[in-house]
């Protein structure tokens, strides 16, 4: 029998206000999630962290599709409700199709995180609501351990509508539901609402393309990763890594990177392209041209920042390296870096309890990300972001204050105040 156990902890709030229900961001009233496979060390259950930025709180209903288990809980404003879910009912296992989804609904907008804190193998992801999901994605993973091919790279897909056809073009050879596919060989899988699939490989699956004829949710990462530079052996201490991937139509062209605190061995960043002939510029680096599905891994020193721009929308992901890189009390995790155009004006987020008892755990906040670590565990995820369709086909529209629409088709939203002044100095007044 699947079960849910409820605990409540204090919530860190950057703002107490609430956004319009029509806003495209990480807040929503419906989420359909899953949990890609993690190591089975203590068979700990994953959790949902749920917060409500609405002063009146929220009534949240959670259903596990594989068992039908259902619970309704009250989420209080200013607090985080932790919902423990039965691992066997929600964890994707192997490279195959299944029904391991979690359905979360609420009477008002909420913020949801998926947390998979296994002993010495923990990470977490920011959940995206169903109203911002898309039909085109590219996976971002990491190299697999040099001495453990049984700890694969992986990505998962969750059906949101019945009768959805998902087409996958893997960047490496994979076996799915007993069938072998070579790198670049497409195959299709039918998913109904709440059905799931996972694709795994003993090689890095970054750049794998996932498209669907109806919106789906996509998560990617590794069962267990070392996260050393790709031209080095993937040896050392490792960790589970996972993020929920934004759809391509929300990707951006400008980013800033921030080093992880306490680290001295640098951080890894991957720029993933969705379109051919994408020109990528990184401060202090030469320009690189990427085609669709290709990526550029950048090793940035721990005392340096980077400005990343591109001619076409890209995905930027930051990776914390193995503890072996510099002896810092942490281990690998991955986190999506929101493009500048998708920065929010307010954030609601929570920290994650880690299991290690080797040393004192710490939690940190950067400009665009929230993360924490302790030897030998860690987690990281965006604190929140807009998900406006700034990379979709665009037609100019009349600006409405705070509508979060790219009215002038420049790849940005709501970048100026309605004050008759050219706030960003581009020669246009009161755009968006």
Could you write out the DSSP letters of every residue in 61-75? EEEETTT--EEEEEE
Q: Are residues 356 and 421 in the same domain?
A: no
* pLDDT tier, 366 (very low <50, low <70, confident <90, very high otherwise): low
CA 355 to chain centre: 22
* Percent of residues, the chain, with pLDDT higher than 90: 67
The whole-number average pLDDT for the span 156-164 is 98
* pLDDT tier, 421 (very low <50, low <70, confident <90, very high otherwise): confident
Least confident of 40-44, 252-256, 410-414: 410-414
Q: Best-predicted range by mean pLDDT among 23-27, 51-55, 214-218, 335-339?
A: 214-218
Q: Are residues 255 and 120 in the same domain?
A: yes
Overall domain count for the chain: 2
For residue 146, being part of any structural domain is answered with: yes
Q: Are residues 206 and 270 in the same domain?
A: yes
For residue 359, being part of any structural domain is answered with: yes
Q: Are residues 321 and 429 in the same domain?
A: no
Question: What CA–CA distance (Å, rounded) separates 103 from 343?
Answer: 27
Least confident of 6-20, 308-322, 361-375: 6-20
Q: Mean pLDDT over all residues of the chain? A: 87
For 425, the domain range is 395-432
Exposed (0-12), middle (13-18) or buried (19+): which is 288, by Cβ within 10 Å? middle
For residue 88, being part of any structural domain is answered with: no
- Residue that terminates a domain, selected from 360, 382, 404: 382
For residue 173, being part of any structural domain is answered with: yes
For residue 321, being part of any structural domain is answered with: yes
Helix (H/G/I), strand (E/B), else coil: 319: strand
Quote the pLDDT of residue 169. Answer: 98
* pLDDT tier, 13 (very low <50, low <70, confident <90, very high otherwise): very low
Which parts of 127-208 are beta strand (E)?
134-138, 153-159, 164-169, 174-176, 179-181, 187-191, 196-201
The whole-number average pLDDT for the span 144-159 is 95
Q: Are residues 232 and 359 in the same domain?
A: yes
**pLDDT tops 90 at residue 153:** yes
The whole-number average pLDDT for the span 59-71 is 97
The whole-number average pLDDT for the span 312-320 is 97
Judge whether 155 and 219 are in contact, CB under 8 Å: yes
Quote the pLDDT of residue 78. Answer: 86
* Percent of residues, the chain, with pLDDT higher than 70: 84
Question: What CA–CA distance (Å, rounded) separates 28 from 341?
Answer: 20
Judge whether 279 and 254 are in contact, CB under 8 Å: no
Give 421's contacts (C-beta < 8 A, 6+ positions apart): 429, 430
**pLDDT tops 50 at residue 1:** no
Quote the pLDDT of residue 348. Answer: 58
For residue 41, being part of any structural domain is answered with: no
Q: Are residues 209 and 286 in the same domain?
A: yes
Quote the pLDDT of residue 174. Answer: 98
Give 68's contacts (C-beta < 8 A, 6+ positions apart): none
Q: Are residues 339 and 249 in the same domain?
A: yes
**pLDDT tops 90 at residue 176:** yes
Q: Are residues 357 and 402 in the same domain?
A: no
Quote the pLDDT of residue 415. Answer: 67
**pLDDT tops 50 at residue 425:** yes
Quote the pLDDT of residue 406. Answer: 78
Q: Are residues 192 and 321 in the same domain?
A: yes
* pLDDT tier, 241 (very low <50, low <70, confident <90, very high otherwise): very high
Quote the pLDDT of residue 16. Answer: 31
Each residue's pLDDT tens digit, 81-140: 999 999 999 999 999 999 999 999 999 999 999 999 888 888 899 999 999 999 999 999
Q: Are residues 404 and 360 in the same domain?
A: no
Quote the pLDDT of residue 21. Answer: 45
Q: Are residues 400 and 287 in the same domain?
A: no
Quote the pLDDT of residue 3. Answer: 43
Quote the pLDDT of residue 424. Answer: 65
* pLDDT tier, 149 (very low <50, low <70, confident <90, very high otherwise): confident
Give 327's contacts (C-beta < 8 A, 6+ positions apart): none
| Residue 304: CB atoms within 10 Å | 12
Each residue's pLDDT tens digit, 243-277: 999 999 999 999 999 998 888 999 999 999 999 99
Q: Which residue has the tokens 């391991």?
A: 100
The CA-atom distances, in angstroms, between 75 and each of 112, 128, 164, 242, 301 are 11, 18, 32, 25, 41
For residue 253, being part of any structural domain is answered with: yes
Q: Are residues 422 and 285 in the same domain?
A: no
For residue 334, being part of any structural domain is answered with: yes
């Amino acid at each position: 029998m699947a079960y849910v156990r409820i605990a409540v902890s204090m919530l860190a709030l950057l703002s107490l206000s609430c956004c319009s229900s029509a806003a495209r961001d990480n807040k929503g009233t419906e989420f359909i999630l899953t949990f890609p496979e993690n190591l089975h060390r203590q068979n700990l259950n994953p959790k949902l962290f749920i917060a409500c930025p609405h002063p009146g709180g929220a009534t949240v209903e959670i259903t596990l599709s594989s068992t039908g288990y259902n619970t309704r809980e009250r989420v209080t404003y200013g607090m985080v409700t932790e919902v423990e879910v039965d691992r066997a009912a929600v964890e994707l296992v192997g490279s195959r199709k299944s029904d391991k989804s979690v359905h979360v609904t609420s009477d008002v907008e909420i913020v949801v995180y998926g947390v998979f804190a296994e002993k010495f193998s923990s990470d977490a992801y920011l959940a995206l609501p169903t109203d911002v999901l898309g039909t085109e994605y590219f996976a971002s993973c990491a190299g697999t351990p040099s001495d453990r091919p049984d700890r694969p790279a992986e990505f998962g897909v969750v059906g949101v509508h019945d009768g959805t056809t998902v087409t996958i073009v893997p960047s490496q050879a994979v076996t799915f539901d007993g069938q072998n596919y070579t790198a670049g060989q497409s195959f299709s899988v039918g998913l109904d609402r709440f059905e799931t699939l996972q694709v795994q490989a003993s090689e890095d699956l970054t750049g794998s393309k996932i498209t669907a004829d109806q919106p789906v949710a996509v998560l990617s990462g590794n069962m267990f990763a070392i996260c050393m530079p790709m031209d080095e052996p993937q040896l050392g201490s490792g960790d589970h890594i996972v993020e929920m991937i934004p759809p391509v139509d929300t990707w951006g062209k400008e980013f800033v990177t921030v080093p992880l605190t306490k680290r001295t061995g640098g951080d890894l960043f991957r720029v993933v392209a969705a379109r051919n002939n994408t020109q990528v510029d990184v401060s202090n680096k030469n320009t690189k041209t990427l085609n669709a599905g290709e990526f550029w891994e950048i090793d940035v020193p721990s005392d340096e920042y980077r400005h990343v721009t591109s001619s076409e929308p890209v995905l930027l992901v930051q990776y914390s390296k193995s503890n072996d890189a510099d002896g810092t009390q942490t281990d690998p995790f991955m986190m999506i870096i929101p493009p500048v155009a998708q920065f929010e004006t307010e954030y609601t987020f929570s920290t994650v309890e880690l299991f290690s008892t080797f040393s004192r755990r710490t939690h940190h906040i950067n400009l665009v990300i929230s993360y924490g670590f302790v030897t030998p565990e860690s987690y990281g995820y965006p604190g929140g972001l807009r998900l406006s369709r700034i990379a979709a086909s665009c037609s100019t529209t009349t600006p409405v204050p705070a509508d979060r629409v790219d009215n002038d088709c420049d790849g940005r939203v709501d970048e100026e105040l309605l004050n008759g002044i050219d706030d960003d100095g581009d020669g246009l007044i009161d755009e968006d």
